Structures are given as structure tokens and as C-alpha cells.
Amino acid sequence: MNGPHDIGGMHNMEPIPIEENEPVFHSEWEAKVFAMSFATFGNYFPVDETRHASERMPPGQYLSSSYYERWLYALELLITEHNFVTKAEIEERINQLAQSKT
């Protein structure tokens, strides 16, 4: 697919974001997205299917998302496409969690 992921040779990207003493994960949600994806590699989805899922992100969204936001998109796409959970269940749970916080 001629998707937004195929960027070898593209010009006008920002300077390379070099960060000294970078942590492995920058937040707990990044670690969780990574671990949930890892736990489904091999068990449910071939790694290449996971890669392709992030490539299916609309180009504008792909290029304005961080690395783990793209992983989250791929994870959500695959678990809903394969009917592990529904989009409605995810939204409903988000609302519940938001309400219980307030």
C-alpha cells in the first residue's frame, strides 16, 4: 500500500528529536500499549498484520501521531476487526471510567 508509512526519501521533516537519557517508555499508557501488542503477537496476530494495521491509519492522522499512538490505533483496529471487543464496548468503558473519576 502506498501509505503514509512509506516515507524513505521524503523531505522537510523536522530535525531529528535526539533526547539524552531517554526512558524506555515516556508514560504508563505507552508501556501498556506496547505490552498488550506484544502479548497479542504470535498469539492472535502475525507481526506483519500488526504493522499493516498501523499503515492503514489515514495519512494525515499517521503523520501527526506519535509512535505509540500508532500502535494503539493498530491494536484497537485488530481487536475490533477480530471481534475480541466492539468499538461500542470501548467507548462505553471510557465513559464509565471518566465518570468514576469525577
Partner 1 sequence: MSSHHQAESDIALRVKAIELLLVEKGIIDPATLDTIIDAYEHKIGPHNGARIVARAWIDPEFKHRLLADGTSAIAEMKLTGFSSEHMVVVENTPNIHNLIVCTLCSCYPWAILGLPPTWYKSFAYRSRAVIDPRGVLQEFGLEIPEQVEVRVWDSNADLRYLVLPERPPGTEKMTEDKLAGLVTRNAMIGTAKVQSPAAPID
Partner 2 sequence: MTAAQAEELLRNGLSCRAENDTFAQFQVGDCVRARVMHPQTYTRLPRYVRGKVGIIVKDRGVYVFPDTVGQRLDTKPQHVYSVQFAAQELWGTNAPANDTLFIDLFDDHLEAV
**Residue 2 makes contact with partner 1 by CB under 8 A:** no
Interface residue with partner 1, options 49, 56, 69, 77 (CB under 8 A): 69
CB of 41 to partner 2, least distance (A): 7
**Residue 40 makes contact with partner 1 by CB under 8 A:** yes
Nearer to partner 2, 51 or 87 (CB): 51
Buried/exposed 1-15: b ≥16 CB within 10 Å, e otherwise: eeebbeeeeeeeeee
**Residue 36 makes contact with partner 1 by CB under 8 A:** yes
CB 74 within 8 A of CB 37: yes
CB 53 within 8 A of CB 74: yes
CB 83 within 8 A of CB 77: no
Interacting residue ranges for partner 2, rule: CB under 8 A: 1-2, 6, 8-9, 38-43, 46-49, 51-52, 55
Binding partner of 61, given partner 1, partner 2, none, CB within 5-8 angstroms per partner class? partner 1
List C-alpha distances in Å: 12 to 3, 7, 9, 26, 58: 18, 11, 10, 26, 20
Nearer to partner 1, 67 or 81 (CB): 67
